[in-house]
Structure formats: C-alpha cells, structure tokens
Amino acid sequence: MIRWLNVLANLFPVWVLLACGLALLRPGLFLWFSGPWIVWGLGVVMLAMGITLGVDDFRRVVKMPAAVATGFFAQFLLMPFWGWAIVRFMDLPPAAAAGLILVACCPGGTASNIVTYLARANVALSVVMTLCSTAAAVVLTPLLTAWLAGAYVPVDPAGLFLSMLQIVLAPVLLGVGINHFFPKAAGLVSPVSPLVSALVVALICAGIVAVRADEIKSSGASLAAAVFLLHAFAFASGYLFAKIFGYDATIARTVSIETGMQNSGLASVLARQHFADPMAAVPGAMSAVMHSVLGSTLAALWRLRPAETGASQKNP
C-alpha cells in the first residue's frame, strides 16, 4: 500500500499537468476551488510537510552547515536575481512581472524532496534545505519581493509577513508538534502526506488557472517562456554554484533541485491575497507545472547516470 502511495506521489508533475490542462479547457470544473479554499489548501500542504519532519531533521542542520548554507544562498540570491533579470529583459506587464518575482522570492517546495529522491541525490540535505528556506522565507520573501517587485506594483511587506506566519510557519510548527508529541498519529498520516500534498497543489494551480483561463490563453506564450527561463536558469546556476564551492555531483544535484523548485502554491496564494490584479497569481500556477516538468526530467536523466562521490568531496 505504502509503495503505491509513493508511486502516486511521485507522479506529482502528471497531476499538475492534467489539472491545469483541464482547467484551461474546462474552467468550470475547477472554479469551485478558489478564494478561501486555496488558502486552506496550502495550509494543509504545509501541515503535511510539518508532520513528516522531526527533531532529528533540525539536528541535521548542525551536521551539514556548509552544504545547507550553500543551498540557502543559492535559493535566496540566484533565484531572486533571475526573476528580476528576466522581468527586466522580457518587459512583462506589471502584474505578471510582480507575480514572477514573487515566485522567485519564495522558498523551496516540498516537491523538491521527491525529485531529489528520484534523482538519487542527497534526500536528507534536501529536507533540511527546504526546512531552512521555509523558515527564513517568513522574513526574506516579503523583504525581497518588496525590494524587487515594488517598482511594478504596490507591495505590502507587513501584510506578506503576516500571511507567511499564518500560511507557512503556523501549519509547519503544528505539524512538527504533532510528529513530536503524537508520533503514532503522525506515523499513520505520514505515508499519505506526500500524495495529499501533490493533489492539493494540483488543485490550487488548477483553481488559479481556471479563474484566469482567458488571460492565459491570450498572453500565455510570453509568460510561459519567462517562467521556463526562470526555472531553467535556476536549476543550472544552482548546480554550478555548488560545484564552485567544491561539492561533488550528489550535493550539486541536490542544490540544483532546491534552487530550481519553488513553493509555487505559496506564491499563487500570496499574489491573490496581496496584489490587486489577479493576473499576478498566474506565474505561480505556471511555475508549479514548469518546475515539476523540468525537475522530473532532470531526475530521470540523473537517475540513469548515478553520481560518483569524489575523494575530495567536502563533508556535508
């Protein structure tokens, strides 16, 4: 049973593609999943992530500080830079530009842990990086978004900060608490959590696409190209960033995946709540599809070519 749950969870890109494709063709199928449902859905995803984390995951940070720091800086330096650069180069409309920058300033997504596993990279490091970027994003996402996107649309960093506390930090801490104080209950829920998260994220993206289906069809090509470039550059530069600091292919692949795969559902929810133009939420929906496809493709290629750990490998 658990094996099949994992198989279905690993099909995360398929669920997102199917849901968003149907939302474009038949918006009415997903219009019900909008408004507060999207916010509650993301809360469920973050709670599910928290339930899979324990005290040992936090202890791992102490054991691999250099590798974690490498991934952390790649996440919050490279990704925001690419978002800003692509927006400037492609001259996107203000709402779409703000939405793309918000995607770039969000933390890593839980799907990165699945892709890291499939790529035969360092799963423990991936979990810790996601944990650290999620915790830091409570402060960094509002500040970076206000700095980089403020020239395109009004940004309320205090409002973004409050939303991060409510949507991200509170559910994750609640999940960790359940795991710590009620381990039996967490053990029953944990096998189902990845699949539930994958399906809920697919619903979030489909709900956003359904609301803006006409706009996506009319202006989707340029925005899709921008989202593709954002994630393609992030995957590539994340890998090179780790190699520059002397890490072997296993760690470099992990940093690449963590840099390239964002919490796109969070970006979509924050955009809906804090940007007046609903189009600002569309880059998040497109990002969920794009990073899933690119990440899964990389995982498949890397799985065929297992990484060799070099003798000079730094201890993560």
Q: Is 55 exposed, middle or buried (0-12, 13-18, 19+ CB in 10 A)?
A: exposed
What pLDDT does 218 receive? Answer: 72
- Would residue 201 count as lying in a domain? yes
- Would residue 295 count as lying in a domain? yes
Q: What is the domain count for the chain?
A: 1
192 vs 45: CA distance, rounded Å:
12
Domain range for 138 is 14-304
Residue 131 near residue 123 (C-beta atoms within 8 A) = no
Q: Is the pLDDT of residue 151 over 50?
A: yes
- Would residue 6 count as lying in a domain? no
Cα separations in angstroms, 137 against 27, 235, 262, 266: 32, 19, 11, 11
pLDDT tens-digit profile of 81-124?
999 999 999 988 888 899 999 999 998 876 787 677 667 788 77
pLDDT band at 310 (very low <50, low <70, confident <90, very high): very low
- Would residue 261 count as lying in a domain? yes
Q: What percent of the chain has pLDDT over 70?
A: 89
What pLDDT does 85 receive? Answer: 95
CATH number where 32 lies = 1.20.1530.20
- Would residue 242 count as lying in a domain? yes
pLDDT band at 315 (very low <50, low <70, confident <90, very high): very low
What pLDDT does 313 receive? Answer: 44
What pLDDT does 91 receive? Answer: 83
- Would residue 177 count as lying in a domain? yes
- Would residue 182 count as lying in a domain? yes
